[in-house]
C-alpha cells in the first residue's frame, strides 16, 4: 500500500490559504485587486467589525458569466494567463488563480455577478457550493466573505482585534487608491466611512484626499526616465517626516510593492535631509517592461525582483536629491490656519493605530479601544499647488543677527520676518560642506605634525586598518606601523581642524573599521564629513559674539543646503511678518 497520496482539492486550498490569506487585509487585497483587473471604476469596501465578521466588495467591473463564476473558485483557474510565456508579460494584479478558492475554503463566500442580461448568485461554505441560482442583471460583482477561518481554529486564534485588522486594511486601501487615482474608492467599517477618494485621476488630489492639506501642500512633483524605467510621483519636504516606512509607497506597473532596493534608493536620496530614524512620505510610480520584473516570487505578489537595479537606483537618488535641492525648504514656525484640520483617516490610523495599537496588541491579547476612524463631514477643499520658490533665490537672502536665545539659537531678521537659527546645526552644515569638498579634491596638501601621532588599536582593528591602508593613503595620510598593534601618522591632510588632529584621526580610523566588506567611497566620504563636522562644531549653550553669529549666517546662506544639518535636523525656522502680526492679533484675517 502506497504511503504517498494526492491530497484533496479542499485540503490543498486550505494549505494555499495559509500563504495567500494571512489576515482580513489579505482578503480585501485579493478581492479588490480582482475588481481592478475587471476594469471597475467604482469600488466600495464594506467591513463589519474590521472584517472579522464580514468583508463585502461591490464594484462596477465587467462581471462574470455563470460558467466563469463557477470556474473562478477552482484552484489555478484564471483569465489572466493562457500560455506559459504570459508569465513573463504580466500586466494584471492577479494571475495565480489561487485567491478565490483559498478564501472560499476557510470562510463563507457569497457572490453575485453579472456581465450580460442574467446574473449569477453563488454561495459557498468551506469551499463547498451550496447555492447556484440566477440573480439580478446589475453589471459588476458583489462578493462578501464572512466567518473567516471558522473551520481552521489554529488560524482563527491568530486574528487580532478589530482595530488591528482595520488598521492594516485601511493602510492597504489608501495605497491602492494612490496607485489608481482614476478609480473611486470608498471604505466603511460598521457603516462609518473611513477612506473615500473621488477617482479624479489626479495623483496630488488623491494624496490630499488621503493625507489632508498639511501633507499635500508640502509635496513636490518628480519625473524621470531612463531607457528602461519611467518614474513619476510626489515626494515630501523633510519637515513632514514619519517614524516608519509605511508612507514610502512604491508602485511598479500599477502594483503596490515592498522592495528593499527601491526603499534604499529613496532613503539614500534623503541622506542629510533627515535623521536616520525618520522616513519620508513618497508616492512614486514606476513603469517598465514586464520582462524586467518578476512578481512571481511570493503568493501575496507584494515583493518583486527588479532588473537593472543600479540604473534604477541612480535615477531615483539623482532625481529626488535634485528636487530637494531646488526647492525652498525653510519651515514656517506657524502652520496656516486652513491646514489645522482633522485627519482621522490616515493620521490616526498610521500614527496611533499602526504604531501604538499594534504594539499594544503584541503585549495584551485582550486589548480593546475605541478609535474614531470616520472621515470628517467637512471636506478640506483641494487647490492646485502654488508656484514653488527656487532654492537659488534663497542664496541671495541677507540675515542680520540681533541676539542669541538660550545660548543656542541665533535670532536674525530681515525685511521678510524673524529667523531662528540653531548655531550647532548651522555650523555643522558649514563644516560638513568644507570637509566634503576637501575629501573630493584631487590635489591634497599635507602637513607633518610636530610630534608623530600614534594610534593604538586592538589586534582585529589593527588588521582591518592594514587591509584598508589605501583609503588612508588616498585621503593624504602617511601611515606606518609602529610597534605592537600601533600605527604612527607621519603626515595628514591640512583640512583637519587645528588642535583636533588626533581626535579627528581616531574618528576616521573608527569609520574605516566599521565599513565592513563593502566600501562605497561616496558614502564613506559623506560619513567622514558628517562625523567630523559634528565633533568640530560649536555646541549648544555656548555664548558666541555678534561677529561670530554674523559669520555663521553668511557662511550658512552660501552652503549647498542651508536648510538642514547633515543629520537632517532643520538649521533655520522662519516667523514671517504676517505670522507675528497674527500672533499678536495685529492681523485678524
CATH number 3.30.565.10 given to 9-159: yes
User: What integer pLDDT is reported at residue 567 of this predicted model?
Assistant: 84
Fold of 191-394: Ribosomal Protein S5; domain 2 (3.30.230)
The string of DSSP codes covering 513-567 is HTS-S---HHHHHHHHHHHHHHHTSPPSS----HHHHHHHHHHHHTSS-TTB-TT
0.75 surpassed by pTM: no
pLDDT in tens, 77-100: 555 444 444 444 445 554 445 778
Grid coordinates belonging to 453: 601621532
User: What integer pLDDT is reported at residue 521 of this predicted model?
Assistant: 83
pLDDT in tens, 135-179: 988 889 999 999 888 888 877 777 888 888 899 899 999 999 999
Which pLDDT band holds residue 557 (cuts at 50, 70, 90)? confident
Domain boundary assignment for the chain: 9-159, 191-394, 396-574
Which pLDDT band holds residue 357 (cuts at 50, 70, 90)? very low
User: What burial letters (b/e) apply to 531-547, b meaning 16+ CB within 10 Å?
Assistant: bbbbebbeeeeeebeee
pLDDT in tens, 475-527: 999 999 888 889 999 999 999 888 888 999 998 998 888 876 667 788 888 88
Asked if residues 145 and 103 have their Cβ atoms less than 8 Å apart, the reply is yes
pLDDT in tens, 419-439: 999 999 999 999 999 998 988
Q: What interhelical angle do 24-37 and 162-179 show, nearest 10?
A: 20
Asked if residues 5 and 108 have their Cβ atoms less than 8 Å apart, the reply is no
Asked if residues 60 and 199 have their Cβ atoms less than 8 Å apart, the reply is no
Other Cβ atoms within 10 Å of 324 Cβ, number: 25
Most confident by average pLDDT, 130-144, 295-309, 558-572: 130-144
User: What integer pLDDT is reported at residue 86 of this predicted model?
Assistant: 43
Cα 558 to Cα 547: distance, rounded to the nearest angstrom? 17
Collapsing DSSP states into helix, strand and coil, what is residue 487?
strand
User: What integer pLDDT is reported at residue 265 of this predicted model?
Assistant: 93
User: What integer pLDDT is reported at residue 111 of this predicted model?
Assistant: 94
Q: Comparing C-alpha atoms, which of 271, 272, 250, 270 is closest to residue 261? A: 250
pLDDT at 15 over 90: no
pLDDT at 350 over 70: no
Grid coordinates belonging to 532: 567630523
User: What integer pLDDT is reported at residue 588 of this predicted model?
Assistant: 66
Integer-rounded Cα Rg, in Å, for the chain is 29
pLDDT at 232 over 60: yes
User: What integer pLDDT is reported at residue 454 of this predicted model?
Assistant: 92
* Residue range 104-123: mean pLDDT, rounded: 91
* Virtual torsion, Cα 245, 247, 248, 251, nearest 10 deg: 130
> In whole numbers, what is the pLDDT of the chain averaged over residues?
81
- The residues, any chain, with a CB within 8 Å of residue 300's CB and separated by 6 or more, are 19, 20, 22, 26, 29
- The residues, any chain, with a CB within 8 Å of residue 417's CB and separated by 6 or more, are 574, 575, 576, 577, 578, 579, 580
What superfamily in CATH does domain 396-574 come from? MutL, C-terminal domain, regulatory subdomain (3.30.1370.100)
Q: Comparing C-alpha atoms, which of 26, 28, 5 is closest to residue 17? A: 26
- The residues, any chain, with a CB within 8 Å of residue 517's CB and separated by 6 or more, are none
User: What integer pLDDT is reported at residue 361 of this predicted model?
Assistant: 42
pLDDT at 359 over 60: no
Amino acid at each position: 500500500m502506497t504511503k504517498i497520496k494526492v491530497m484533496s482539492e479542499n485540503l490543498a486550498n486550505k494549505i494555499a490559504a495559509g500563504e495567500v490569506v494571512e489576515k482580513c487585509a489579505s482578503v480585501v487585497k485579493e478581492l479588490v485587486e480582482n475588481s481592478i483587473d475587471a476594469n471597475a471604476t467604482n469600488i466600495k469596501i464594506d467591513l463589519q467589525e474590521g472584517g472579522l465578521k464580514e468583508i463585502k466588495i461591490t464594484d462596477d467591473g465587467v462581471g462574470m458569466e455563470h460558467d466563469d463564476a463557477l470556474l473562478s473558485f477552482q484552484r489555478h483557474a484564471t483569465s489572466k494567463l493562457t500560455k506559459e510565456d504570459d508569465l513573463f508579460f504580466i500586466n494584471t494584479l492577479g494571475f495565480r488563480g489561487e485567491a478565490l478558492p483559498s478564501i472560499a475554503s476557510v470562510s463563507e463566500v457569497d457572490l453575485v455577478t453579472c456581465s450580460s442580461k442574467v446574473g449569477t448568485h453563488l454561495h459557498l461554505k468551506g469551499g463547498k457550493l451550496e447555492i447556484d441560482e440566477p440573480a439580478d442583471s446589475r453589471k459588476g460583482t458583489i462578493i462578501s466573505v464572512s466567518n473567516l477561518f471558522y473551520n481552521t481554529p489554529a488560524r482563527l486564534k491568530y486574528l487580532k482585534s478589530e482595530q488591528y485588522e482595520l488598521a492594516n486594511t485601511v493602510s492597504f486601501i489608501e495605497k491602492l487608491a494612490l496607485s489608481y487615482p482614476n478609480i473611486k474608492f470608498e471604505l466603511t467599517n460598521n457603516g462609518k466611512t473611513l477612506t473615500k477618494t473621488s477617482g479624479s485621476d489626479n495623483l496630488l488630489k488623491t494624496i490630499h484626499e488621503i493625507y489632508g492639506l498639511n501633507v499635500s501642500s508640502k509635496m513636490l512633483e518628480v519625473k524621470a526616465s531612463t531607457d528602461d524605467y519611467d518614474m513619476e510621483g510626489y515626494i515630501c519636504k523633510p519637515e513632514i517626516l514619519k517614524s516608519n516606512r509605511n508612507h514610502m509607497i512604491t508602485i511598479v506597473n500599477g502594483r503596490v510593492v515592498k522592495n528593499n532596493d527601491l526603499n534604499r534608493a529613496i532613503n539614500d536620496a534623503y541622506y542629510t535631509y533627515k535623521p536616520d530614524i525618520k522616513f519620508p512620505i513618497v508616492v512614486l510610480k514606476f513603469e517598465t517592461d514586464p520582462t524586467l520584473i518578476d512578481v512571481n516570487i511570493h503568493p501575496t505578489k507584494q515583493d518583486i525582483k527588479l532588473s537593472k537595479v543600479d540604473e534604477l537606483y541612480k535615477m531615483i537618488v539623482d532625481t529626488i536629491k535634485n528636487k530637494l535641492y531646488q526647492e525652498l525648504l525653510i519651515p514656517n514656525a506657524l502652520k496656516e490656519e486652513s491646514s489645522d484640520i482633522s485627519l482621522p483617516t490616515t493620521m490616526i490610523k498610521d500614527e496611533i493605530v499602526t504604531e501604538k495599537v499594534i504594539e499594544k496588541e503584541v503585549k495584551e491579547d485582550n486589548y480593546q479601544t475605541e478609535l474614531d476612524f470616520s472621515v470628517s463631514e467637512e471636506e478640506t477643499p483641494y487647490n492646485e499647488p502654488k508656484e514653488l520658490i527656487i532654492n537659488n533665490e534663497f542664496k541671495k537672502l541677507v540675515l542680520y543677527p540681533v541676539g542669541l536665545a538660550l545660548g543656542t539659537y541665533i535670532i536674525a531678521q530681515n525685511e521678510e520676518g524673524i529667523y531662528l537659527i540653531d548655531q550647532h546645526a548651522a555650523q555643522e552644515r558649514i563644516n560638513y560642506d568644507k570637509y566634503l569638498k576637501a575629501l573630493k579634491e584631487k590635489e591634497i596638501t599635507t602637513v607633518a605634525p610636530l610630534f608623530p601621532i600614534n594610534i593604538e588599536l586592538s589586534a582585529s582593528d589593527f588588521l582591518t586598518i592594514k587591509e584598508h591602508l589605501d583609503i588612508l593613503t588616498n585621503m593624504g595620510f602617511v601611515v606606518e606601523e609602529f610597534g605592537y598593534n600601533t600605527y604612527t601618522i607621519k603626515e595628514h591632510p591640512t583640512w583637519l581642524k587645528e588642535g583636533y588632529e588626533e581626535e579627528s584621526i581616531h574618528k576616521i580610523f573608527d569609520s574605516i573599521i566599521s565599513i565592513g566588506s563593502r566600501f562605497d567611497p561616496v558614502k564613506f566620504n559623506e560619513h567622514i564629513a558628517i562625523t567630523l563636522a559634528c565633533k568640530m562644531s560649536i555646541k549648544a549653550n555656548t555664548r558666541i559674539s555678534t561677529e561670530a553669529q554674523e559669520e555663521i549666517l553668511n557662511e550658512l546662506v552660501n552652503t549647498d543646503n542651508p536648510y538642514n544639518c547633515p543629520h537632517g535636523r532643520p538649521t533655520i525656522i522662519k516667523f514671517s511678518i504676517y505670522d507675528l502680526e497674527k500672533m499678536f492679533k495685529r492681523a485678524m484675517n
